[in-house]
A and B are shown apart, each in its own frame.
Chain A
Amino acid sequence: DAGITQSPRHKVTETGTPVTLRCHQTENHRYMYWYRQDPGHGLRLIHYSYGVKDTDKGEVSDGYSVSRSKTEDFLLTLESATSSQTSVYFCAISESSSNQPQHFGDGTRLSIL
């Protein structure tokens, strides 16, 4: 199994508070991704990174920011959490940008009250 660790695995917080989710990989893969999964929507890409300090927006990036200061870590931040951001968040990694499978972490279940 690909070495991907997401933390925390579960979090409950209040509207308006900042939240940071961490994805850590031990595979030295160049690409990292953050998705959210909601009932009726499947997985949707939030942001992705194609190298250290290189990131770009995905399909649903509003309200989220990311940072990647090291190859192995990709952080997702909700600056001011809203109830609409209650979701399950998945991190994924891949070796390159096309024709390569993505490997996913086990997810973070985030509830915003």
Chain B
Amino acid sequence: DAKTTQPNSMESNEEEPVHLPCNHSTISGTDYIHWYRQLPSQGPEYVIHGLTSNVNNRMASLAIAEDRKSSTLILHRATLRDAAVYYCILDILYNNNDMRFGAGTRLTVKP
């Protein structure tokens, strides 16, 4: 199975940028990189996804390495509401969206 590796936890200060790393050295050429987050007592929430090019949306930016073996989720200005567990997941083509969630990175945002 294609796997991802993320740090267990990270801390950030409020209103500062946050860079959440993810390694996926066994990624295939057709695997999309998805990011989700999960706030306490809630279901996971889609954040962003991409294939090769960097992606931006209203929530975050996704920077994908040229060799695609790693990616970084960027929160441009962290708020207290961004404190959550962030999951980096590979969406494997023709795998019926069976995305394997790992332990993720627990982000703490300090005021």
Rounded to whole angstroms, the CA-CA distance of A103 and B34 in the bound complex is: 12
Decide if the interface of chain B is mainly helix, strand, loop or mixed.
loop
**Contact call B103/A102, Cβ cutoff below 8 A:** no
Please name all residues of chain B whose beta carbon is closer than 8 Å to the beta carbon of A40 when the two chains form the complex: 103
Please name all residues of chain B whose beta carbon is closer than 8 Å to the beta carbon of A78 when the two chains form the complex: none
Q: Shortest beta-carbon distance, A3 to chain B, in Å? A: 13
Measured as residues with beta carbon below 8 angstroms from the partner, the interface class of chain B is 20 to 34
**Contact call A102/B97, Cβ cutoff below 8 A:** yes
Interface 0/1 of B42-53, CB less than 8 Å to A: 111110010100
Rounded to whole angstroms, the CA-CA distance of A50 and B42 in the bound complex is: 25
**Which residues of B, 47-85, contact A by the 8 Å Cβ criterion?**
49, 51
**Contact call A42/B103, Cβ cutoff below 8 A:** yes
A42, A58, A106: the one within 8 Å of B42 (CB): A106
Looking at A13-21, A66-74, A79-87, A92-100, the stretch in contact with chain B turns out to be A92-100
**Contact call A106/B102, Cβ cutoff below 8 A:** no
**Contact call A104/B97, Cβ cutoff below 8 A:** no
Q: A43-B44, A48-B96, A56-B96 are in contact. Are A101 and B101 (CB under 8 A)?
A: no
For this complex, 20 residue pairs linking A to B, each with C-beta atoms less than 8 Å apart, are A33-B97, A40-B103, A42-B101, A42-B102, A43-B44, A45-B99, A48-B97, A56-B96, A58-B98, A59-B100, A92-B43, A98-B32, A98-B97, A99-B49, A99-B91, A104-B43, A106-B42, A106-B43, A107-B41, A107-B42
Q: Which residues of B contact A (CB under 8 A)?
A: 32, 34, 36, 41-46, 49, 51, 87, 91, 93-104
